[in-house]
Structure 1
């Protein structure tokens, strides 16, 4: 690739060629078993004739799981990666993509150092004509630009956008940078293009804007709505371990999967229900209807009728005074307004799932305790997504699984110490001024347009193009590639043509091809970085990435890039970052908190954290048993909690209970009524709303992630490409899954090249007959379609799914509606 050849000075060329042998790093042979004896641990073997092997404790980067890894380095070359046996997530195991770190580290298409653009023209087919520059020059160019904006009173025109934020040493720095510099746009997260729908549904019902943690080990029933449990749910490696445990323990955990196609999870489950996309809420409501009419709710948690007689009858209202609630709020109101009419027959007509299957699922779920209703992007990536998530989460309340053994809870934060310097001490008059408060975020979060959303990254490109609320001048990207990941990315290609772009990717992403300055981050095996765990078993945990190898090239860890820019900003901001010094200094201060909260594994300071690779502290501090909440007192769950304690620590809702009538949503009743047409007195109830489908086609278009997705980096790794779609047998491409009957009606044969079209655009793909896919739905896993990123990623079929996906979002959560699109498919 011509532009890559322009990157390297003679010194960098020698670095590249010197590492060429490392690019072919392979897995070491396993030790030979003696007879029938077993191995307690497997160790990588150094290559013949090599020197000493060093094992570095670190954290994987292939997905959000944060699995502990042991990285084997011999003579400065990483040659193997295994799951760390001392890490509670990995337990000595890794998922199929865990070994890809060596390929990422030695990717020949990596950026080798900082660069600047010399071609002023920007576009998909424009060579940036990057030339190498020193780090001092790159940092000063950026700092000069930011200082100039601040001098003009236009600091709000700088935005810092990020994707997978890992911890205090990277994403945790962005908010403080925004405060000190004076922009509301640092940083804006990609959560609105990830899974904000599930978090907002939980915020509306139990008061926690967070991902759930789960006690799978003790769960006896899993009802999975579109969560791709055995493909891409988090933490994936641990879930595979728990699947084996759940399916072999006694009693065996029963599993029902709600999906649109036969994926690995559905194939392994006891029952698969193939739901019409966007109708999950109707199914969940019908399950609740059966549970209530048949008396299957957890009375010790929810409450009961005063006289013990079940008055929940189909179609009949109930006097709220007849029911005494315990840890829920608004159950009878919800029944009267929504659930009494949500019969299995009604739901069958909407979802196309047979009425008998709905009833059987409801009875199983309602009688098999502990049970969990688990959901993610599948049901929430629609215009009705928050309400769908609320309907599903309401089932967890009905079975009393919240904070219970075998149920779900929320992750505790690590016991970090304070940073070495306080932001508040370095805010100057400019940063504190009322003038700064006049400028809203570029994504309009917090305004009347998106008052409830937390992030709206997908709105930034079109807002900039329209000058609404203003035009951006400079944008910096960290671990996000919106030209490829956003719906309707064509808008980003236009928007970034007249913006000064700073990219920190180690790889030639699509966004990097629009960059004016490239300041490449280390790959994860070269980084020092904290990784607090979020969706696991509830008790707090924080991993530490420690460099397994000196940086191969002239790169810097992102946290230090930002700190070095900060040091060059005029005034108190520069002084703040000089005091902060470096990410290592920050991490050493954070680790001081472990002295007062020593880890269960003995970690008490930075050095022991580095040695173990992880700090964690068991147990989880709270548990609900038979409708009472208890706090850990050092010996057991012996301290009975008062209602006000439950409200402060667990149910952070206005009522201090799980809310079937959401006080949070009722605070925004006028907005929800205006956006979704719901009567203001009913906005608080979990309910079914018909999805607003986009695209103008006749087939639903679903774009799930797969097990080898590797946070997007797998697209330039041949071994990941070959294994990407195992259910369809893909090797060089990702197939469009289409039902044989649907295909034949369109004259499409198995293996034909097809064109997928919507009102947004068109792409091409290879069709593969998939009898396990709904006839009204086509499925195209989101991975290929890159026009940059590297030699193996570029130009590979199918086209990018985002190019036929409209930019529509759920008004409440702001989650992009990736699964609401409708397309036409024809033979190309």
Structure 2
């Protein structure tokens, strides 16, 4: 009792236990305390309004997890994973709960505005003043109509980032076609992950990301994919990790990366590789798989005499091998692979030959196995070839379209739009001068013939007037003044362009805007979302507004429709028939009537109720070297080679190509840009990277962490406080440096340091991380904003993009964010 009395004063005790009363205290056996009074009668808490649960889709990353949004008394107060959504399964990642921060961000734009200050720059106040939506739409439409009347409609460009479905990205193509511009729209893929898509286009004919059957795989080789940090769909990846690592047999994991990260730490084997040399590692693994006879004969084929003839350095006759679902294997061996031993790769990658050989034997002898990769290997000038080498391992072990392997995503059973844009083309849309104009980013031209998008080139091209000057540009869900490599070039470029920005938030591009059309946040809008590649079977979720917009904002799709209604001629009539986004989605959902989802979704109303439509299983399966199609109860319909070519292996040969017909079609271009002999451009091969930074001695990588929230994480205090899981800390992002590297330069843990490239310098705070490669500096990507909100603005360290050169892979067009070399010194 004396101990209790010493810990708690009489007054504190009375305050804490008043509701219990004297009787309760006595009943508890507490004696020796006086002055207790009878507690007042307990009162019920104030009644709250009814809690409403709305189906929605998280917008913190590309995963597109279904969420349940809890709203009481008109206020969102909780977000949880939707148990009925196959990606979320009732779970969310660490950033999935941040939606209310987005919704109630005090720095959000409150309504449409126009600029009053004609000068643009970092230190210029835009002088925004409120305007009505009608004035905003009328102003924009008048400008676009004027361009069209002058035959200059190509000078309007639309840039977008994380487009979703029919309710936004699905509207771009029709708008460009009807209005008359090749620049509707230019996507951000070339600044995201286009390298992996192009590597697959070159080898198996699918210009897409893979779907994965992770539950069934027994071996995972992860190369620069950040599986437990940023690989899509991130929330589900963590769930699958738990399943893979607890099932029997347990999935074995080897991770190859340039730095310590959560995936490396959780793997069975972690191999540190020299940046940009992933292709050399993969080629050596392929070499061992063949020399050790570990390839999947049912898929790849075999020697005519059944005896393995792959020997290091030995050339083979093509007639000696019967290929099945691969093309050019023996040519590949003779021209490239026979000399790519682990010992050769060790000299390039710095990974010990014994570790390469052991990884190859494990990967090649375990079924099913898959190799996955992303920007780590592909964010370099040799990125497509690196990716091709890694993806070739999947072909060698027969994991393509197999159980426990990789496939590609099927699309949803959407119905048609209420009107057909082809019926609203006027003569200008069909034959106008804009038809002869290239895109401002020069994608799909002789300059970048193999790329789909080159957003990072648009700003610099405008500055040069090559191929022309933009007049008007509209930005949706992208902020290139901050995200593009060497973003200061965009700052200069956009000074004389009429800018329309649609972000809900005051980002850097918005600070250059002439018109601000603030979009509603994702908790306030109606929007569809066909899944990114997931498990292959078709799926699309629906974002239902949890509350009405709390400010005067609109959904981007409705903005585009309203502008379209004001365009002269048939274009305006098309958008009047389209009417609004809800009408678009109701027509899309009509397709579900003939293809009801597994959860009973068969129309728009049931889609809103359930939040997701999906139909299992995946339609195709490769089983022991034969392809089958699903027939309602089993994979029983055997596919012909022509069907496989049409639906699955879409290469010129209808097989997985170690000698790529797609690349050979562009032999002159690849030879000119990369110096590869024309007769060799098609081979999966080792290509030396070209690092920027001259003779500087340290590689500079800028990965995304688990708390990177679609560009908004820098203005969310909760995200800021836990942003950097490896180095820890508060209020900033540290430059992660191997201690030996720092000490050799006289840099102590916590010192202010200067990182310098050919473009200039930024400063950061040094944090020792002994687990990183000594030759590699790591600065997670998120901070260094000069706008974006009160918590983001001017928060250190310096912005990594400002010392990242605008250099891209000639084949994929992917910006080489990870290929720069820098120097380091105390500031």
TM-score bin, normalised by smaller chain: over 0.9
Contact map agreement 1:700 1:778 (CA 8 A) in 2: yes
- Matching residue of 1:754: 753
2:100 is matched with which residue: 79, 99, 102? Answer: 102
Superposed, 1:770-789 pairs within 5 Å as 770-789=769-788
How far the C-alpha of 1:436 sits from its partner, in A, is 2.3
Superposed, 1:385-784 pairs within 5 Å as 385-433=383-431, 435-696=433-694, 697-784=696-783
Superposed, 1:164-183 pairs within 5 Å as 164-183=162-181
TM-score (norm 2): 0.94
Aligned CA-pair RMSD: 0.9
Distance 1:274 1:487 in 2: 26
1:213 is matched with which residue: 204, 211, 214? Answer: 211
**CA displacement, residues 731-776 of structure 1 (integer Å, 9 cap, x when unaligned):** 1111111100000011111011111110112111111011111101
Partner secondary structure for residue 710 of structure 2: helix
Change (3 A) 1:636 1:809: same
Contact map agreement 1:443 1:460 (CA 8 A) in 2: yes
Distance 2:264 2:46 in 1: 45
- Matching residue of 2:264: 266
- Matching residue of 1:39: none
- Matching residue of 1:133: 131
Distance 2:151 2:296 in 1: 58
Distance 1:198 1:502 in 2: 31
Contact map agreement 2:190 2:813 (CA 8 A) in 1: yes
1:793 aligns with 2:808: no
Distance 1:791 1:435 in 2: 46
Contact map agreement 2:152 2:434 (CA 8 A) in 1: no
Superposed, 1:56-75 pairs within 5 Å as 56-75=54-73
Distance 2:64 2:647 in 1: 25
Distance 1:826 1:427 in 2: 60
- Matching residue of 2:153: 155
Q: Which runs of 5+ in 1 are unaligned?
A: 1-45
How far the C-alpha of 1:610 sits from its partner, in A, is 0.4
Q: Which moved more, 1:48-57 or 1:67-76?
A: 48-57
Partner secondary structure for residue 773 of structure 1: coil
Partner secondary structure for residue 712 of structure 2: helix
Distance 1:796 1:747 in 2: 26
Distance 2:638 2:515 in 1: 57
Distance 1:76 1:70 in 2: 15
How far the C-alpha of 1:282 sits from its partner, in A, is 0.2
Distance 2:729 2:589 in 1: 45
Partner secondary structure for residue 490 of structure 2: helix
Q: Which moved more, 1:688-697 or 1:476-485?
A: 688-697
- Matching residue of 1:383: 381
Distance 2:629 2:533 in 1: 21
Partner secondary structure for residue 271 of structure 2: strand
- Matching residue of 1:23: none
Distance 2:650 2:480 in 1: 33
- Matching residue of 2:75: 77
**CA displacement, residues 257-290 of structure 1 (integer Å, 9 cap, x when unaligned):** 0111110000000001100001000000000000
The higher radius of gyration belongs to 2
How far the C-alpha of 1:48 sits from its partner, in A, is 5.7
Partner secondary structure for residue 202 of structure 1: helix
Partner secondary structure for residue 712 of structure 1: coil
Distance 2:650 2:334 in 1: 25
1:342 is matched with which residue: 340, 343, 347? Answer: 340
How far the C-alpha of 1:49 sits from its partner, in A, is 3.1
- Matching residue of 1:15: none
1:299 aligns with 2:297: yes
**CA displacement, residues 539-574 of structure 1 (integer Å, 9 cap, x when unaligned):** 000000000001000000000000000000000000
Contact map agreement 1:695 1:804 (CA 8 A) in 2: no
How far the C-alpha of 1:252 sits from its partner, in A, is 0.4
Distance 2:498 2:83 in 1: 45
1:814 aligns with 2:803: no
Contact map agreement 2:180 2:432 (CA 8 A) in 1: no
Partner secondary structure for residue 711 of structure 2: helix
Partner secondary structure for residue 811 of structure 1: coil
Contact map agreement 1:506 1:522 (CA 8 A) in 2: yes
Distance 1:434 1:189 in 2: 24
Change (3 A) 1:47 1:810: farther
Distance 1:510 1:175 in 2: 27
How far the C-alpha of 1:434 sits from its partner, in A, is 5.3
How far the C-alpha of 1:447 sits from its partner, in A, is 1.2
Distance 2:685 2:722 in 1: 40
**CA displacement, residues 361-417 of structure 1 (integer Å, 9 cap, x when unaligned):** 000000111001000011000000000000000000000000000000000000000
Distance 1:204 1:730 in 2: 43
Distance 1:641 1:199 in 2: 25
How far the C-alpha of 1:47 sits from its partner, in A, is 9.2
How far the C-alpha of 1:722 sits from its partner, in A, is 0.6
Distance 1:555 1:434 in 2: 35
Change (3 A) 1:773 1:47: farther
Contact map agreement 2:58 2:65 (CA 8 A) in 1: yes
Contact map agreement 2:280 2:345 (CA 8 A) in 1: yes
- Matching residue of 1:824: 823
Q: Which runs of 5+ in 2 are unaligned?
A: 1-43
Aligned residues: 783
1:290 aligns with 2:288: yes
Distance 1:258 1:168 in 2: 38
Contact map agreement 2:538 2:614 (CA 8 A) in 1: yes
Partner secondary structure for residue 288 of structure 1: helix
**CA displacement, residues 100-120 of structure 1 (integer Å, 9 cap, x when unaligned):** 000000000000000000011
1:87 is matched with which residue: 85, 88, 103? Answer: 85
- Matching residue of 2:318: 320
